[in-house]
Structure 1
């Protein structure tokens, strides 16, 4: 049996690491018939903290909000080329300790892997794209031009030396082609798998019920969803909105807040399943969303989605929903109005359910293995409803 390493700055086997993506990759590879080997390339915490704090001091600027200044400085430290060099040293040791390997899936390119085996990189966005998203990704906008250029060059070298460059969406893949000049044949869109699959139930489509799930309320555009829903309810008094995650306390007609629902707590898991089963549309028009796993989780439950044009949501949602400019309240309202129609919502939900079959970790594992074997990338036309 082939042994394929899965490298990440954190324990790839832990479900809590990076929203479960590394552990999902390991499950997908195992499902594809190979032995996944977890390779944690993170330096010891004390070393990481020392490096980040030392770099953060260079980025501290006088301002009234001291905590915000420290936070921005530390964010720059985590994004810096200095920490990337330290992780690369740890990565080399971790790779040697893993023993003989037939290939490696390198999640993230902020470190170098000195491997003599095929490497497939896997990411949901590029360094170049962090500047497109303004302050949505803390630290990147703080780096000096020289430090940012160094991170760009490190990523370019990783892409150039890899057997395959794998991305979770066509949005990220376009950046690899446009900003880094990597040959199209080695750039693969492998998608992403889901970590939560709620049962697809027979639901009442006649009364619109929207579901929002997100921890970062400001970045996920929760306030925009509330504004649009308030206007929609003037036309559809029967409409309801359920909020899950890091939302503020909300007292508004038709809106119910559920707070954080943990999948490892059976009662909360069951409640989240029930909300996915009762909803008629998922809505999360984030200001930036590289690859929202929750979109494919909603699709698997038979829900259409309203997502964002700011990131890779269009690829994940496809014809199973609508993507809108998160800054355009009118477009969001129009999308919610459209999917409040029972026939449209039911039809689009069926398309989402069908599309969700490609977004499992087993499917991702097969695509990663194909990329590692050196097969050329396949072009795929993606329908996106706007």
Structure 2
């Protein structure tokens, strides 16, 4: 019987913790534990830098705009060639990159996709398509449509992306699925940490802590959190914003903002976990967001989340026991009023939080892999 062991594929080294916010790494670890992934391909886009300059010049001459090398057939073909995969032997690939491999891959291969966003959504919602010529954008989207059509399954982290696959690319809904991602945390290390006490009622000495997690302060809603802190202060609730990720030098000066810089989740796990568990709420009020792994990390650690329904964020919170999902782009007063009401009975808040903690397994990559296994067979 042919060996159909599955390999994880992404735009980079799937075995490297630094690749794509660590998502391939943690998915690979869980996939190997459960036996649905044999390994991950180690690809190096930096080896293709010299080709980027050549293609950008060609794009400028042909289309009037340079750029878009990472979306080109030249790039994906050269990148995949690094793996030296046999074209004439059965092979299973689970790809994190919608254009890799390019459509018309060998008939002996089975390719499934597990994506956070379609390329159309990346172009439109994140604005990255503005620097590309319209004709080139259409070529890229057509190649993506062909790849989805040839794939066995197209699995999305959020319903937002699944809707795009069906609506924008015309893919049969029967082959489109949703599997939310898990927390990018080392479960062995987390399991060895002591149980944390819940935070005390907010006071002047121990103010309400709202957490921000991510490098992109502006895109992920940092400015809104400062407005929210002001609104809470006006309601007599001392509040601070604890920010992990952004360079403190790049952040605005605000009395409620407490920048923590970068905390390495793998080498400084205890500090990272203790910090998140000291938050009353994690937050995610992004301008654009394909999913929101930070929400899953908060939930994994028993911390409820405040977010709004922009992009794929809604799929990170399965129900009201996990926090509060507001309509997209709420006002600071609306969110502040909700927080004040939620904390008005602090015993009720603690009971709500205590009910979330035992659900931690729902938010792990092991849980996601079990869902993937049921789909992939």
Q: Which category of TM-score, normalised to the shorter sequence, fits these structures?
A: 0.7 to 0.9
Moved more, 84-93 or 16-25: 84-93
Distance 1:286 1:110, change over 3 A: same
d(CA) in 2 for partners of 1:95, 1:335: 55
CA drift at 1:336: 4.1
Asked if structure 1 preserves the Cα contact closer than 8 Å seen for 2:198 and 2:350, the reply is no
List per-residue Cα deviations over 1:64-98 (Å, max 9, x = no partner): xxxxxxxxx77x334543xx333224425625269
1:68 corresponds in structure 2 to none
Match of 2:23 among 21, 24, 40: 21
- RMSD between aligned alpha carbons? 2.9
d(CA) in 2 for partners of 1:327, 1:58: 44
Task: Give secondary structure in 1 for the equivalent of 2:261.
Answer: coil
After TM superposition, the structure 1 = structure 2 runs for residues 223-234 of structure 1, keeping only pairs within 5 Å, are 223-234=223-234
Alignment partner of 1:275 is 2:275: yes
d(CA) in 1 for partners of 2:305, 2:240: 15
After TM superposition, the structure 1 = structure 2 runs for residues 17-166 of structure 1, keeping only pairs within 5 Å, are 17-43=19-45, 45-46=46-47, 48-57=48-57, 76-81=67-72, 84-92=73-81, 94=83, 96=85, 102-112=91-101, 114-115=105-106, 116-133=108-125, 136-138=126-128, 140-166=129-155
CA drift at 1:362: 1.7
Say which structure, 1 or 2, has more relative contact order (CA 8 Å, 6+ apart). 1
d(CA) in 1 for partners of 2:352, 2:160: 22
TM-score by length of 2: 0.82
Asked if structure 2 preserves the Cα contact closer than 8 Å seen for 1:326 and 1:332, the reply is no
1:239 corresponds in structure 2 to 239
Task: Give secondary structure in 2 for the equivalent of 1:311.
Answer: coil
Distance 1:221 1:318, change over 3 A: same
CA drift at 1:312: 1.1
List per-residue Cα deviations over 1:257-307 (Å, max 9, x = no partner): 2122122443xx433222212111111211111121110110111111112
Asked if structure 2 preserves the Cα contact closer than 8 Å seen for 1:304 and 1:345, the reply is no
d(CA) in 2 for partners of 1:99, 1:244: 47
d(CA) in 1 for partners of 2:54, 2:356: 47
Match of 1:362 among 351, 359, 366: 366
Asked if structure 1 preserves the Cα contact closer than 8 Å seen for 2:231 and 2:332, the reply is no
1:65 corresponds in structure 2 to none
- Structure 1 unmatched runs, 5+: 61-72, 374-386
- Structure 2 unmatched runs, 5+: 203-207
d(CA) in 2 for partners of 1:180, 1:348: 41
